Structure 1
Amino acid sequence: MQKWRREVKGTMYPALRLLMPNVDRGRLYNMKEVMLGRSYLEVMGIPKDSEDGQALVKFNLPGKSTVSDKAAGDFPRVLYEIVRSRSTVTESKVSIKKINEMLDNFARDHDKSEQRPIIREWVETLTAEEHMWLAKIILKQMKLGVSEQTILEAFHPDARELFTVNADLRTLCEKLYSVSFRLNNTSISVATAFKPQLSKMGNYTTLTHIDEWMGQLGCKEFWIETKLDGERMQIHIDNGQWRYYSRKGTNYTQDYGPDPTRGSLTPFIHNSINAHVKRCILDGELVVYDPASDALVPFGNLKTVGRKSFNPMNEHEPHPYFVAFDILQMDNVSLAEKPLHRRYEVLQSIIDPIPGRIAIIDQLRGTSSAQALHAFHAAIEAGQEGIIVKNPESRYVPNSRTMDWTKVKAEYVEGVSEHPDVVVVGGYYGTGNRANKISKFLVAIRDTPKQDEVVDPERPKLLTFARVGSGASYKELDAMTQRFPWKRFDDKRVPSWLAIGKEKPEMILDPYTKVDGVDSAIVLELKAAEITPADDYSCGYSLRFPRIMKSKIGYYFRYSL
């Protein structure tokens, strides 16, 4: 970095965004390994069914070709080995500026036909090692062996503090242009994404003592909000220009609308903001509202409805709905240091709610644990995720989790979440330390036969239901996978006992096969927030946030699911 400052003398933004692609909000690739691999195969003329073609598309399966098993699960490394065996480019001749131009073009053109010429240029000008690093950047898998915090500290003494508030690399580099320049303060500013204040996780016991907790924080009254099933979103309004940033700082402005004439939300809510307010920052939850049922629908629909263009005729279709719960700046006045109850008053004074489009979160005032418990159960019964309890005297602290905001969700509380038993029918190989090893499972439930349908009682049909991997240790995963006869899944030869959906496994396990006289069935007890409709699984439903609680290996499951 010292050499860059000494010889290049310009902003370090071009270099930092290559070192830290996972926090670079200026480029969205929307690209996964398989899609990138297929694009390379087309450009390089490698048949998909060839050994190297399969190695690239199924990069996480061991032993696919001449590619070393050590590279399995590491797509950039697999790509490196395949390009190296074919490329005639042996010397690097591209600059950082050129690399950034290449990536800008690639991020800008999401159409497959437009990306092929870009990748063709890469193949003609880049070395195999440069292809590997480009893939790491696009997939945001740098793995440099140093943390982002270490890079920021090496860049500037104030970089970590500023990045905590304004999670934008370009702004960081512009403000900290010189090591000799020191910040007097870091503050939230309009048009720059920041890391929002988050809620500390609580449980049922927390609610039973919430009055004591809040008393320790110095407040006699606490506020209760419903935890909505949506995506955290901050809206920045700057003299008629709107910006939308997610919790991680991803810019969704093009989806929801940069001005009142474009997008799926701004055209419908711009008039709800008091005309005297020229600049402000709103914090809230973006959910999906369905006019037909007059209800909120699951969060999974948000990306679909968010990308629909402005069309007044879409009034009766599901659409984005912003629920504001905080305001951090109004015109040139920062409100983050003001107590929550004051910020809420300002919020109410500038927003005129529009049903189904924009609202202000309802506040229930409480003084006892009984009120918090009642609100929690009411939220669960209404199909919501849970509640958030807030200290009305609290200040807004970006990138923090404190007891001032405490959330309790159904999945954290015994007795109010789903606990289904399922059987493992498929598996997926992991990456990194889990390369060459099955790390996630496709699980199923037993089908309910139709009336007069003849069913084999020894091999009842199974319907796929969910994909799960969290909750089990590596040791437990190995114990559940190593002793059984896993086979490669072939979607042209699906066994009669299994109904498969859009979600297809990499490996398949027949739970009716016996190993040493015992069923090779792995039955899992899962814990999840809720059961929701899902097109990807043959049963038509799936689980939100599933976790493995218990496993039963070789368990006789035919009549238990």
Structure 2
Amino acid sequence: MRFAELAATSAAVGATSGRRAKVELLAAALRGLEPGEIPAGAGYLAGELRQRQTGVGWAGLRDLPPPAAEPTLTVAAVDAAIEEISRVAGAGSQARRRDLVGRLFAAATADEQRLLTGLFRGELRQGAQAGLLADAVARAADVPVAAVRRALLLAGDLRAVAVAALTGGAPALAGFGLQVGRPLAPMLAQSAPSVDEALTATGVPATVDVKLDGIRIQVHRSGPDIAVFTRSLDEITGRLPQVVAAVRALPARELVLDGEAIGLDAAGRPLPFQETSSRAARRATPSTTGPTQVAPAVLAAAERTGEPVLTPYFFDLLHLDGADLIDAPGRERWAALAGAVDASLLVDRVEVDDAEQAATAFAAAVDAGQEGVVVKDPAAPYDAGRRGSAWVKVKPRHTLDLVVLAVEWGSGRREGWLSNLHLGARDPRTGEFVMLGKTFKGLTDELLRWQTERFLSLAVEKGDWEVRVRPVQVVEIAFDGVQTSSRYPGGMALRFARVLRYRHDKTAAEADTIDAVRAIHAGRITG
């Protein structure tokens, strides 16, 4: 298949609002793929590259060559080119990678370049996420949607499921099951602003788990073989020896566990997420009287390897010694978990019958330095890969009034509108604004229309990619925390920022300061 056909489909899907119409467009493209093109082509339609790491970032996509006049690229050729780019390593790799990227883009038309740019940046916002692709795969292969979704949940790999459906139909999809050693898409949680609203979704009685700000892990054990996977299903076994040691010390021979790995300070309190994720937590022996204890096997592994203490805490059990548990209600899975895993490796969990009890559990978690809680329906099965109402997370919400410094032009459905906001906090010492990150989350169509007109009127520099504006417009931003970042001059960035509203009642001089952001970053403000 010509790559231009996928580029045209991507553009058409982005310009289409109806779900059924999107599915038909995607299904038509999937039918046109040759068997060998399905893994890459299905991924492109979902906005994903088959190669998880390419080494190509924002800087590598600057100064691209002009587009080709006529389309010549095929899906297979693009996949081969990106595979070659992803394998570049060693001395001179940067120049070699830049040359390969230049060749690929020089062979691409303008529409193909737009698709490639979105794929490399991971920002192909065309409204074709995995759920929509599952429907399209079912349509293209003429198989039940439920069969595709079930296979996708168990396999955790859209490309593999697309290949099976399009080449083997329903019988091939039936071959997907929970296999120890093969990760499956984790169950996800919705968000709620309060425990009251969370309980409205889950009902009572409910369980309330402490929400740790760590790395989501899924651990598979089969005898002596242990594998650790991330939320995105990447294997990181070699990077977490303490997790491996903790699971190896358990009595069961076959396990699939869901949990978090988190760094702890000397008092047993959680370290910031970024320290955990970068393995920069200082090596320490947490106090056994602190709010969180560390299993002896974890400490022993840390002592042997000299690595930071990264402790696993598990909250679900999906398989135990030959028996799959994903379809069992939560209370049965959690009872099995408690019987199979040492209590020092379990996430703190309480049962509640009303909002007052849930609020008490939430306050205790936050006071202990945790991220919040997850309220769960104990009757619900493990709905792999889904974000349903059975699990609802509640976190303290920070808000800041920040100033818009620039805005990027949107793509896909937002093409023609100014979308992605560059956010800055006021530095009272210099009067300048310090950039803290970007967001396009929380913007309605009405806000997009308004802010496009507004920021064009404030423009001081207009480009094809972004518009720099006079720093006068204040916007209220909600976010989950502040993390260390070398990407921005202030050394910090907001986590999961989203727009709440524009503050027309405030001037830029009244916006929040960089000192307020530093206070949140340092943990001096918890709500």
**Alignment match, 2:189:** 199
Please give the alpha-carbon distance, in whole angstroms, between the structure 2 residues aligned to 1:24 and 1:443. 27
Assess, with a 3 A threshold, how the Cα gap between structure 1 residues 277 and 174 changes in structure 2: closer, same or farther.
farther
Do the aligned partners of residues 507 and 203 (structure 1) sit closer, same or farther apart at CA in structure 2, a change above 3 Å counting?
closer
The answer as to whether partners of 1:274 and 1:350 remain within 8 angstroms in 2 is no
Query: Which has the greater radius of gyration?
Result: 1
Superposed CA deviations along residues 57-88 of structure 1, whole A, max 9, x for unmatched, are xxxxxxxxxxxxxxxxxxxxxx5xx1527xxx
Residue 305 of structure 1: aligned partner = 279
For 1:149-198, what per-residue CA distance to the aligned partner results, in whole angstroms no more than 9, with x for missing partners?
Answer: 31343135143431233222565367555237365586322233322222
Which residue, out of 31, 42, 53, partners 1:29? Answer: 53
What is residue 283 of structure 1 aligned with on the other side?
Answer: 258
User: Which region of structure 1 is more displaced relative to structure 2, 374-383 or 130-139?
Assistant: 130-139
1:325 Cα shift?
A: 0.6
Identity, in percent, stands at 19
Cα distance change, pair 110–36 in 1 and its aligned pair in 2 (3 A):
farther
The 5 A counterparts of 1:31-430 are 31-32=55-56, 34-37=58-61, 53=63, 56=64, 82-84=66-68, 96=76, 100-109=79-88, 113-114=92-93, 117=96, 128-129=107-108, 132=113, 138-139=120-121, 147-148=132-133, 149-155=135-141, 157=143, 158-169=147-158, 171-172=160-161, 177-179=167-169, 181=171, 187-204=177-194, 206=196, 214-215=203-204, 221-247=205-231, 249-251=232-234, 253=235, 256-257=236-237, 263-266=238-241, 269-274=244-249, 277-287=252-262, 289-292=263-266, 294-305=268-279, 315=306, 317=308, 320-352=310-342, 359-410=345-396, 417-430=397-410
CA-CA distance at 1:461 after TM superposition: 4.0
Whether the 8 Å CA contact 1:274–1:351 is kept in 2: the answer is no
Does the 8 Å CA contact 1:282/1:328 hold for their aligned counterparts? Answer: yes
- Residue in 1 aligned with 2:427? 447
Question: After the TM superposition, which parts of structure 1 deviate over 6 Å for at least 4 consecutive aligned residues?
Answer: 1-8, 121-127, 141-146
For residues 413-442 of structure 1, the C-alpha deviation after alignment (integer angstroms, 9 at most, x for no partner) is: xxxx33322223333343345456542333
Correspondence for 2:39: 16
- 1:207 to 1:4, Cα distance in 2 relative to 1, 3 A: closer
Contact 1:13 1:173 survives alignment (8 Å): no
Query: Which range moves more in the overlay, 390-399 or 533-542?
Result: 533-542
Q: Please state if 1:527 is matched with 2:527.
A: no
> 2:391 aligns to what SS in structure 1?
strand
What secondary structure sits across from 2:180 in the alignment?
coil
207 and 161 in structure 1: CA distance in 2 versus 1, 3 angstrom threshold? closer
In the alignment, is the contact (CA less than 8 A) between 2:60 and 2:98 conserved in 1? no
Partner of 1:470: 441
Consecutive unaligned residues of structure 1, counting only runs of 5 or more, are 39-52, 57-78, 216-220, 258-262, 411-416, 450-454, 490-504, 512-520
Kindly indicate whether the alpha-carbon contact (under 8 Å) linking 1:419 and 1:526 is maintained by their aligned counterparts in 2.
Answer: yes
> In structure 2, do the counterparts of structure 1 residues 291 and 183 end up closer, same or farther at CA, with 3 Å as the change threshold?
same
The structural deviation recorded for 1:380 is 3.0
**Displacement, 1:306?**
8.6
CA–CA distance in structure 1, aligned partners of residues 127 and 436 of structure 2 = 38
Return closer, same or farther for 1:28/1:110 CA change in 2, 3 Å cut-off: farther
Structure 1 residues 532, 246: CA separation in 2 closer, same or farther (over 3 Å shift)? closer
Cα distance 1:365–1:181, how it changes in 2: closer, same or farther (>3 A)?
closer
Distance 1:558 1:394, change over 3 A: closer
Structure 2 residue aligned with 1:546 = 497
Task: Indicate the larger mover: 21-30 or 465-474.
Answer: 21-30
> Residues 154 and 303 (structure 1 numbering): CA distance in 2 closer, same or farther, change over 3 Å?
same
Label 1:36 to 1:424 Cα distance change in 2 as closer, same or farther (>3 A): closer
In the superposition, relative to structure 1, how do residues 205 and 3 fare at CA in structure 2: closer, same or farther (>3 Å)?
closer
- Aligned mate of 2:456, from 482, 489, 506: 482
TM-score normalised to structure 2 length:
0.70
Aligned equivalents of 1:299 and 1:545: distance in 2? 13
1:441 and 1:3 map into 2 onto residues whose CA distance is: 35
The 10-residue stretch of structure 1 (230-239 or 124-133) with the greater mean CA deviation from structure 2: 124-133
In structure 1, what is the Cα distance between the partners aligned to 2:321 and 2:377?
A: 25
CA distance in 2, matches of 1:418, 1:159: 39
List alignment gaps of at least 5 residues for structure 2: 2-26, 283-300, 513-527
Task: Please state how far the C-alpha of 1:265 moved relative to its aligned partner.
Answer: 0.7
- What is the DSSP-based 3-state SS (H/G/I as helix, E as strand, rest coil) of the residue aligned with 2:140? helix
Let me know the Cα RMSD of the aligned residues: 4.5
2:40–2:75 Cα contact (<8 Å) kept: no
Deviation digits for residues 444-479 of structure 1 (CA, Å, limit 9, x no counterpart): 333344xxxxx7xxxx34444443433332123224
Aligned partner letter, 1:527: A
- How far is 1:522 from its partner? 0.8
1:347 is displaced (CA, Å) by 2.3
What CA deviation, in whole Å up to 9, does each residue of 1:24-62 have, x standing for no partner?
786213455634435xxxxxxxxxxxxxx3xx3xxxxxx
CA distance, structure 1, for counterparts of residue 239 and residue 57 of structure 2: 30
Q: Secondary structure at the match of 1:427?
A: strand
CA contact (8 A) 1:18 1:137 kept: no
In the alignment, the residues of structure 2 paired with residue 400 and residue 365 of structure 1 have an alpha-carbon distance, to the nearest angstrom, of: 23
Counterpart Cα distance in 2 of 1:234 and 1:549: 34
